[in-house]
Amino acid sequence: GAVVSQHPSWVICKSGTSVKIECRSLDFQATTMFWYRQFPKQSLMLMATSNEGSKATYEQGVEKDKFLINHASLTLSTLTVTSAHPEDSSFYICSARIGPEAFFGQGTRLTVV
Amino acid sequence: GQSLEQPSEVTAVEGAIVQINCTYQTSGFYGLSWYQQHDGGAPTFLSYNALDGLEETGRFSSFLSRSDSYGYLLLQELQMKDSASYFCAFNSGNTPLVFGKGTRLSVIA
């Protein structure tokens, strides 16, 4: 099946710094990728839809200036958490779809200290 | 609005059969998917139903009734490794998947 690779798998950063998370589709092209956030024992909450060559579409309540998304190529989308705070600590996961099936990256566990 | 309802927790015995139900509400509907997620891991695709009826894939089966806005995931011959969270999700065309809150399945000996 298709593979989506996400990096890093975990990161610890200090408050106020920025963290970049990469999401790559390894064996297919993804004009659209999705970024989710998941708190422990909760569901996946869609943060934004990343569109290759255009601006991302953010869900209501997600600050676009805080969660910067760039989809510069058909195989790479990045999420940058800017000026991170402890409340940003979470599991971030990207996804791309082929038809009805979604393929997920491994996820990134972000801890802000 | 769009929503999915599924039980929050289910416990079943190893070797048994368990059914996880999912009801949904949406104005546009293409199909219902099921995903499995182990703690700390990424969700993995299990099944997809676009039409009414039962889809079988090994020990897992999924059912959909579009008229009832209802589906279920059936897991047979439960194994300890099946302990995980299971999410139903629907898609409306090329829009992002909308996930239910997940059902945490615990398989006990």
Query: pLDDT tens digits, residue range B27-70?
Result: 888 899 999 999 989 999 999 999 999 999 899 999 999 999 99
> In Å, how far is B50's CA from the nearest CA of chain A?
9
Residue-wise over B17-36: b if at least 16 C-beta within 10 A, else e?
ebebebbbeeeebbbbbbbb
pLDDT score recorded for residue B28: 80
User: Quick check: B100 and A43 CB within 8 A?
Assistant: yes
Determine the average pLDDT of the residues in A82-89. 96
Q: Are B24 and B90 in contact (CB under 8 A)?
A: yes
pLDDT score recorded for residue B29: 83
Name residue A88's amino acid.
D
Our CA angle for A8, A58, A41, nearest 5°, is: 55
Per DSSP, the three-state class of B66 is coil
Q: Does A44 touch chain B (CB under 8 A)?
A: yes
User: Quick check: B41 and A107 CB within 8 A?
Assistant: yes
pLDDT score recorded for residue A60: 94
Q: Best interface-test mutation with B: which of A7, A36, A38, A43 has the largest number of B CBs within 10 A?
A: A43
Q: Does B28 touch chain A (CB under 8 A)?
A: no
Write the pLDDT tens digit of every residue in A27-84: 999 989 999 999 988 999 999 999 998 899 999 999 999 999 999 899 999 999 999 9
Residue-wise over A42-73: b if at least 16 C-beta within 10 A, else e?
ebbebbbbbebeeebbbeeebeeeebbbbbee
Interatomic CA distance for residues A95 and A75, integer angstroms: 12
pLDDT score recorded for residue A72: 85
How much is the mean pLDDT over chain B?
93
Interatomic CA distance for residues B34 and A105, integer angstroms: 17
